């Protein structure tokens, strides 16, 4: 039986019940003075003999209306808990819809009766209207149908990957009336688009209940409804974000992970799981095919799908499928680099870029301008005394937001009104430094003041970022404006670079992408390249439109390092060359995917306490001669890049090993040592610690 992880209760607990319950049954059990949700666990994992004289408490109720969670679901949860070093109960409960935790058995029974009525009527039998696949698509489809996988579908933006997903899903569902498919996308805001496409395709054939979504933007009742539909087999297709990897899908036969390289597949709190990696594990475990898709695969997946060579006759464990051609879309955007060393100092929009945007507005085409920093400016400062708008609670600046005249910390949320005078010396001479999307929007409006659209109206500029899309439905409304052509230039963060099918955008510009080139994070160039390739893929998506306009789609990059390998590869749209170069570097430095990593992070009021805990736990690990240590390197603790957040000092240490199994063995053995270390009086000041296995940012 399983219960929540907080208050240290994380493992299996025993309860009495007057009838035998199969493993996977959902129950309510007393814990302390509360009733909580639990899952009956497999007898072979039971905690063993009860202590002398102990008596069992009885379970409070059984959630009868819900079939027990099947063995493959339980194995997935148990694996995730073990692999990511979290309590089983925590992972199991986080994997269930939150409302299940709150509903009493009677309430749930009522809920279950309701949708049952609506369901029966449905059951379309209409044939699916398929479009003819291109030769590349057909070849990918055929191999997916005939081989076990996992597959890496490496296809340019607009190569028709989604069409391949649709066809594979269809084949799986038609072959077996109980079959289910799971399709994952990285961002919530991409799910409505995808849902529309899947529903349009499959509702006529499998009924309107066949397609459901699962993501954190849904209300608790919606989530419960989708979850139950998947669990009961009524839903044949589940579309969702990373959390959907834990959906109960008894008939699962196919898992698609679209944009598999996207960092948002990695959960960044609680159990820090990778939904992509769990998808691969789950597929193998449950006998479902796994299809990863991307135009810029993660180097891990790219390496795992390397074809066999004479020196490496095995090759990788994934099968790589290649779709280089764009369908229905124009040629890939021409990449234009602007050498900012040649531009006047403080230039935001170089003259040639501004000229290009202006021409496009005048022709009625749309442009997109990217900057990965929201707000007006990253910091305010005083020219008299040097004061800066530092967050009092973090080692970070408060960002200047002009729209509502606030200074906001993007790490802890601490917000104050913008001061009129320097808070330190009283000088009125305070200025902003650097720029964010708000400022870009403002400057662009000024620069395009006299530019007219073909209809004679002035150019219209819109901004989309986390600030403009906070309200529910705001993003949809703003995207609709872009699609309808009301907007000429769209300014935004990476939020707009992903996935959206803008039909009339012919120019995309990254105005200041250099930051990532010299980051201490070894994955930064990989992420930048993926982002720029994806952004470039937003331009010229509609070949007919591009042809009718007689235009050429372009991707502009303003940079101080025009010769950098990232931009060279981008210019040629050459992911393969980029990946090969990065993998060579990674191999030489013995970094992932040629090594496996984990982090332990410690938070405390002082950096000394945080690092002290990590050092002590390391010493204890060596003293105990823990298994795996001979092939696991433990690096010394260091402060995080943003060292203090919300008055908490943060430190971390890295572990690395060429063997994943050895790292896992070590982590499992270290867990109790970390716990024991924490209990020592010397580490009283430690607030929390956590393990991040296969961390994405270091």
Figure out which of the listed residues 161, 337, 435, 498 binds ligand ADP, where binding follows CB under 6 A. 161
Least separation in angstroms between residue 428's CB and Zn ion is 9
Peptide bond before residue 150 is cis, with ω within 30 degrees of 0: yes
- Closer CB to ligand ADP, 83 or 502, in the complex: 502
Q: Do the Cβ atoms of 504 and 485 come closer than 8 Å?
A: yes
Q: Which of Zn ion, ligand ADP, none does 328 bind, CB closer than 5 to 8 A by kind?
A: ligand ADP
- Closer CB to Zn ion, 384 or 442, in the complex: 384
Q: Which of ligand ADP, Zn ion, none does 427 bind, CB closer than 5 to 8 A by kind?
A: Zn ion
Site map for ligand ADP, 135-154, x if CB under 6 A? --x-----------------
Q: Which of 175, 155, 164, 189 is nearest to 259 (CA)?
A: 155
Site map for ligand ADP, 305-344, x if CB under 6 A? ----------------------xx----------------
Residue 559, beta-bridge partner list = 339
What is the rounded CA–CA span in Å between residue 130 and residue 124? 16
- Closer CB to Zn ion, 394 or 444, in the complex: 394
Figure out which of the listed residues 160, 240, 330, 695 binds ligand ADP, where binding follows CB under 6 A. 160
- Closer CB to ligand ADP, 163 or 649, in the complex: 163
437 to each of 340, 371, 372, 375, 493, how far by Cα in Å? Answer: 19, 6, 8, 6, 7
Least separation in angstroms between residue 506's CB and ligand ADP is 16
Least separation in angstroms between residue 208's CB and ligand ADP is 22
Least separation in angstroms between residue 135's CB and ligand ADP is 10
Figure out which of the listed residues 3, 162, 286, 358 binds ligand ADP, where binding follows CB under 6 A. 162
Q: Which of Zn ion, ligand ADP, none does 79 bind, CB closer than 5 to 8 A by kind?
A: none
Figure out which of the listed residues 24, 89, 150, 155 binds ligand ADP, where binding follows CB under 6 A. 155
Residue 644, beta-bridge partner list = 649
State phi, psi for 22 to the nearest 5 degrees: -70, 150
Figure out which of the listed residues 159, 267, 437, 493 binds ligand ADP, where binding follows CB under 6 A. 159
State phi, psi for 142 to the nearest 5 degrees: -65, -40
**DSSP label of 46:** -
- Closer CB to Zn ion, 23 or 424, in the complex: 424
What is the rounded CA–CA span in Å between residue 387 and residue 194? 48
- Per CB under 6 A, does 38 bind ligand ADP? no
Q: Which of ligand ADP, Zn ion, none does 160 bind, CB closer than 5 to 8 A by kind?
A: ligand ADP
Cβ neighbours of residue 494 closer than 8 Å, sequence gap 6 or more: 370, 372, 531, 535
Residue 580 is encoded by which pair of tokens? 């090969």
Cβ neighbours of residue 625 closer than 8 Å, sequence gap 6 or more: none
Cβ neighbours of residue 630 closer than 8 Å, sequence gap 6 or more: 662
Q: Which of Zn ion, ligand ADP, none does 424 bind, CB closer than 5 to 8 A by kind?
A: Zn ion
What is the rounded CA–CA span in Å between residue 112 and residue 108? 6
Least separation in angstroms between residue 374's CB and Zn ion is 15
Q: Do the Cβ atoms of 66 and 231 come closer than 8 Å?
A: yes
State phi, psi for 427 to the nearest 5 degrees: -65, 140
State phi, psi for 196 to the nearest 5 degrees: -60, -45
Least separation in angstroms between residue 406's CB and ligand ADP is 38
Q: CA-based Rg of the chain, rounded to a whole angstrom?
A: 27
Residue 656, beta-bridge partner list = 597, 633
Q: Which of 66, 106, 10, 372 is nearest to 233 (CA)?
A: 66
- Closer CB to ligand ADP, 153 or 653, in the complex: 153
The total of other beta-carbon atoms located within 10 Å of residue 504's CB is 21
Pairing of strands 61-62, 26-31: antiparallel
Site map for ligand ADP, 86-125, x if CB under 6 A? ----------------------------------------
- Closer CB to ligand ADP, 131 or 425, in the complex: 131
Pairing of strands 489-492, 26-31: unpaired
- Closer CB to ligand ADP, 131 or 589, in the complex: 131
Q: Do the Cβ atoms of 198 and 294 come closer than 8 Å?
A: no
Q: Which of Zn ion, ligand ADP, none does 159 bind, CB closer than 5 to 8 A by kind?
A: ligand ADP
Q: Do the Cβ atoms of 666 and 655 come closer than 8 Å?
A: yes
- Closer CB to ligand ADP, 142 or 474, in the complex: 142
Least separation in angstroms between residue 132's CB and ligand ADP is 6
Q: Which of ligand ADP, Zn ion, none does 385 bind, CB closer than 5 to 8 A by kind?
A: Zn ion
Least separation in angstroms between residue 260's CB and ligand ADP is 12
Which 163-182 residues touch ligand ADP, going by CB under 6 A? 163
> Where along the sequence are the contacts to ligand ADP (CB under 6 A)?
131-134, 137, 155, 157-163, 327-328
């Amino acid at each position: 039986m399983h219960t929540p992880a907080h208050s240290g209760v994380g493992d299996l607990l025993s309860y009495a019940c007057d009838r035998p319950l199969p493993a996977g049954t959902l129950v309510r059990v007393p814990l302390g003075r509360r009733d909580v949700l639990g899952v009956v666990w497999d007898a072979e994992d039971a905690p063993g003999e009860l202590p002398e004289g102990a008596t069992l408490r009885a379970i409070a109720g059984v959630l009868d209306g819900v079939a027990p969670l099947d063995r493959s679901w339980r194995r997935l949860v148990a694996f995730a808990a073990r692999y990511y070093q979290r309590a089983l109960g925590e992972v199991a409960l986080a994997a269930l819809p939150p409302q299940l935790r709150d509903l009493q058995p009677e309430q749930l029974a009522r809920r279950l009766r309701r949708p049952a009525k609506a369901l029966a009527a449905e059951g379309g039998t209409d044939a699916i209207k398929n479009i003819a696949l291109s030769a590349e698509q057909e070849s990918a489809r055929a191999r997916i149908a005939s081989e076990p996988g996992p597959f890496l579908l490496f296809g340019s933006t607009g190569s028709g990957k989604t069409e391949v997903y649709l066809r594979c899903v269809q084949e799986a569902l038609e072959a077996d009336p109980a079959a289910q498919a799971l399709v994952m996308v990285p961002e919530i805001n991409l799910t409505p688009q995808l849902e529309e496409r899947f529903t349009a395709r499959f509702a006529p054939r499998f009924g309107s209940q066949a397609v459901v979504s699962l993501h954190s933007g849904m209300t608790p009742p919606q989530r419960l409804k989708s979850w139950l539909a998947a669990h009961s087999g009524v839903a044949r297709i589940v579309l969702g974000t990373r959390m959907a990897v834990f959906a109960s899908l008894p008939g699962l036969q196919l898992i698609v992970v679209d944009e598999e390289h996207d960092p948002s597949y990695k959960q960044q709190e609680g159990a820090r799981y990778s939904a992509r990696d769990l998808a691969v594990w789950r597929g193998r475990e449950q006998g479902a095919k796994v299809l990863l898709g991307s135009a810029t695969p993660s180097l891990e997946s790219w390496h795992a799908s390397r074809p066999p060579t004479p020196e490496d006759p095995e090759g990788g464990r994934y099968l790589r499928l290649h779709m280089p051609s764009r369908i229905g879309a124009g040629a890939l955007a021409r990449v234009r680099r602007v050498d900012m060393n040649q531009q006047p100092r403080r230039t935001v929009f170089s003259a040639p870029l501004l000229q290009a945007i202006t021409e496009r507005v005048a022709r009625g085409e749309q442009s997109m301008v990217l900057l990965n920093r929201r707000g007006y400016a990253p910091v305010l400062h005083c020219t008299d005394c040097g004061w800066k708008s530092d967050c009092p609670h973090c080692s970070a600046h408060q960002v200047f937001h002009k729209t509502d005249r606030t200074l906001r910390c993007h790490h802890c949320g601490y917000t104050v009104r913008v001061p009129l005078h320097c808070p330190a010396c009283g000088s009125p001479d305070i200025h902003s430094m650097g720029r964010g999307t708000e400022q870009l929007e403002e400057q662009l409006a000024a620069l395009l003041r006299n530019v007219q659209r073909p209809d004679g109206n002035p150019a219209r500029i819109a901004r989309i970022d986390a600030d403009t899309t906070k309200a529910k439905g705001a993003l949809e409304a703003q995207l609709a404006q872009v699609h309808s052509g009301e907007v000429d230039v769209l300014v935004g963060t990476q939020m707009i670079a992903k996935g959206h099918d803008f039909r009339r955008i012919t120019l995309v510009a990254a105005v200041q992408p250099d930051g990532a080139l010299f980051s201490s994070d070894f994955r930064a160039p990989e992420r930048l390249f993926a982002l720029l390739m994806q952004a470039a893929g937003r331009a010229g998506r509609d070949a007919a439109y591009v042809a009718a306009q007689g235009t050429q789609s372009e991707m502009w990059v303003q940079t101080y390092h025009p010769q950098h390998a990232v931009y060279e590869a981008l210019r040629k749209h050459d992911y393969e060359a980029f990946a090969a170069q990065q993998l060579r570097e990674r191999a030489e430095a013995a970094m992932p995917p040629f090594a496996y990593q984990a982090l332990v992070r410690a938070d405390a009021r002082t950096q000394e306490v945080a690092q002290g805990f990590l050092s002590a736990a390391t010493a204890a690990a060596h003293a105990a001669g823990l298994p795996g240590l001979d092939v696991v390197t433990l690096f010394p603790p260091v402060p995080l890049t943003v060292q203090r957040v919300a008055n908490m000092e943060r430190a971390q240490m890295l572990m690395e090993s060429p063997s994943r199994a050895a790292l896992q063995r070590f982590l499992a053995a270290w867990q109790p040592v970390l716990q024991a270390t924490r209990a020592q009086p010397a580490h009283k000041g430690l607030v929390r610690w956590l393990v991040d296995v296969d961390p994405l940012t270091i």
